[in-house]
């Protein structure tokens, strides 16, 4: 891993003259989320990085919000000398790349928004806020076991391998950074709903049929606020379906990205 001036850990791979794809992981995870996806992105230059306080990245120098996390990407692009990038974001990563689209559209080539929340409604919003408060009061693992049941199918949970990876990544996260990021996941979605100016960036919006936190309706609603967008729903899987079946995500994402560079 390389370390950028702001303490962000990142890895850069692929052909140097290929279009740049940035992969953004979710809350409490790390850039290793994408390990099994990397072979599918072989024709692209790929930038993977850890969110502030996650993986090998140092904490943010300021209170985290979506703009701070969007600017983390901007800093990386400037650091590696990249003019534009295709941003692929999972969960909070799909919130971060939407914030980037609003803040820095001139640096953006396209968006892939994976399993990312939108307007949750009153009850679901209250539940997410309660989980964020629990993390602040009781620590990063206070909601972990219940989360695994929301994220994985029972069959995959029984294998133990994927859930153990998620546990390992959670253990790496700086406690204060996790609490701040959980608050961003809970509250930051409000600033993305019904933007004053509709986003006009080629976008693929995906989620899983049984993702209770980033539902198919949310993906449809996200796409409705982006002028150039398509929606794809992956059958059966839950929030971390991209770990259970990487091909179900890489195939449509790569097909989408290829269409943007022709």
Q: Which residue has the tokens 């602040």?
A: 136
Cβ–Cβ under 8 Å, residues 243 and 30: no
- Residues β-bridged to residue 85: 108
Q: Which of 250, 255, 249 is nearest to 208 (CA)?
A: 249
pLDDT at residue 187, rounded to an integer:
87
pLDDT at residue 139, rounded to an integer:
58
The residue ranges of the chain whose pLDDT is under 70 are 135-142, 262
pLDDT at residue 137, rounded to an integer:
60
Sequence spans of domains, the chain: 2-261
pLDDT at residue 115, rounded to an integer:
97
- CA angle, residues 145, 233, 152, in degrees to nearest 5: 15
CA atoms within 13 A of residue 45's CA, in its CB half-sphere: 14
pLDDT at residue 188, rounded to an integer:
87
| Residues near 255 by beta carbon (within 8 Å), at least 6 away in sequence | none
User: Which tokens hold the place of 36?
Assistant: 């099994």
Q: Which fold has domain 2-261?
A: Rossmann fold (3.40.50)
Residues in the chain: 262
pLDDT at residue 106, rounded to an integer:
95
The beta strand positions in 42-144, using DSSP E, are 45-49, 85-90, 108-114
Could you report the per-residue pLDDT of 139-198, keeping only the tens digit for each?
556 677 778 888 999 999 888 788 889 989 989 999 899 889 989 998 888 889 888 777
Residues 163, 165, 169, 171, CA torsion sign = positive
Q: What is residue 87's DSSP assignment?
A: E
């Amino acid at each position: 891993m390389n370390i950028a001036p702001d303490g962000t850990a990142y890895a850069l791979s692929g052909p140097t003259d290929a279009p740049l794809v940035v992969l953004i992981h979710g809350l409490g995870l790390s850039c290793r989320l994408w390990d099994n996806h990397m072979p599918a992105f072989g024709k692209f230059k790929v930038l993977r990085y850890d969110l502030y306080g996650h993986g090998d990245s140092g904490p943010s120098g300021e209170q985290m919000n979506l703009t701070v996390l969007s600017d983390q990407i901007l800093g990386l692009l400037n650091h590696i000398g990249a003019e534009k990038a295709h941003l692929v974001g999972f969960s909070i990563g799909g919130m971060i790349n939407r914030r980037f689209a609003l803040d820095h559209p001139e640096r953006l080539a396209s968006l892939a928004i994976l399993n990312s929340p939108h307007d949750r409604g009153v009850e679901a919003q209250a539940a997410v806020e309660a989980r964020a408060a629990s993390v602040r009061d009781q620590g990063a693992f206070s909601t972990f076991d219940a989360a695994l049941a929301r994220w994985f199918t029972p069959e995959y949970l029984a294998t133990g391998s994927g859930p153990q990876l998620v546990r390992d990544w959670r253990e790496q996260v700086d406690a204060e950074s996790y609490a701040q990021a959980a608050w961003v996941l809970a509250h930051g979605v409000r600033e993305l709903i019904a933007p004053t100016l509709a986003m006009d960036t080629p976008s693929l919006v995906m989620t899983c049929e049984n993702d209770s936190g980033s539902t198919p309706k949310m993906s449809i609603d996200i796409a409705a606020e982006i002028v150039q967008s398509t929606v794809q729903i992956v059958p059966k899987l839950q929030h971390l379906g991209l770990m259970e079946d990487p091909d179900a995500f890489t195939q449509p994402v790569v097909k989408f990205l290829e269409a943007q560079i022709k």
